[in-house]
Amino acid sequence: MAHAAQVGLQDATSPIMEELITFHDHTLMIIFLICFLVLYALFLTLTTKLTNTNISDAQEMETVWTILPAIILVLIALPSLRILYMADEVNDPSLTIKSIGHQWYWTYEYTDYGGLIFNSYMLPPLFLEPGDLRLLDVDNRVVLPIEAPIRMMITSQDVLHSWAVPTLGLKTDAIPGRLNQTTFTATRPGVYYGQCSEICGANHSFMPIVLELIPLKIFEMGPVFTL
């Protein structure tokens, strides 16, 4: 999860997030190069005496500064489209979870386990135990296996919400009357936190998401839900 004064992105826990971090670094280097070039040109403009005022024909320069931005856009667009299509792929999920947004809590349904349904509310400060995180911990966590493709079906019952877990590279809108889906495969066990990322009312900041990811063998041994 994020910590105080963190500058970079959270550590990746899924292949998609690893790709997103790589793309972020790739694009950031291009931005640095563009900024350096612009600052260098400004420096030359401010420090060089312009003695030739008859420069009116510079076709080579115009060709370069027309083609170069197009090449830069292609270098950004191709990996971006690749990640976009990778994130939309649904390859035979092992488990399907339905998430329903409410004001201001989440309802989860394990469709492959006889319709197991439970609500997930943020823990009030008076109920926090030592080590719990204020505004992030919930009374009922979503327990999921690692190294297994999982499909999340996301919708809302009242207003717009957004189901987001940054470390997994997930952010999907919950829209009333519409069922959106996203998939992920976690690579490490642990407890991962997210929050609603769409302003949904007065208590928008108080509907966190907590995923507890455990090894697949332990998940298959039996119920691990403490409701």
Residue 14 has pLDDT above 80, yes or no: yes
Are 140 and 119 in contact, with CB atoms under 8 Å apart? yes
Pairing of strands 208-214, 142-145: parallel
Residues of the chain with CATH 2.60.40.420: 95-221
Q: Which two tokens stand for residue 84?
A: 């976009």
Residue 195 makes CB contacts below 8 A (sequence gap 6+) with 136, 164, 205, 207, 208, 209
Q: Which of 94, 188, 193 is nearest to 146 (CA)?
A: 188
Top CATH class of 95-221 equals mainly beta
Over the stretch 142-159, which tens digit does the pLDDT of each residue have? 999 998 899 999 999 989
C-alpha–C-alpha distance, residues 13 and 16, integer Å: 9
Over the stretch 78-114, which tens digit does the pLDDT of each residue have? 999 999 888 888 778 888 999 999 988 999 999 888 7
Considering the domain delimited by 15-88, tell me its CATH architecture: Orthogonal Bundle (1.10)
Note the pLDDT of residue 227: 44
Cα-Cα-Cα-Cα torsion 213, 217, 220, 224, nearest 10 degrees, comes to -50
3-state secondary structure 145-212: ECCCCEEEEEEECCCCEEEEEHHHCEEEEECECCCEEEEECCCCCEEEEEEECCCCCCCHHHCEEEEE
Q: Predicted confidence band at 224 (pLDDT cuts at 50, 70, 90)?
A: low
Residue 226 has pLDDT above 80, yes or no: no
| Average pLDDT rounded to a whole number, residues 40-69 | 77
Residue 42 makes CB contacts below 8 A (sequence gap 6+) with none
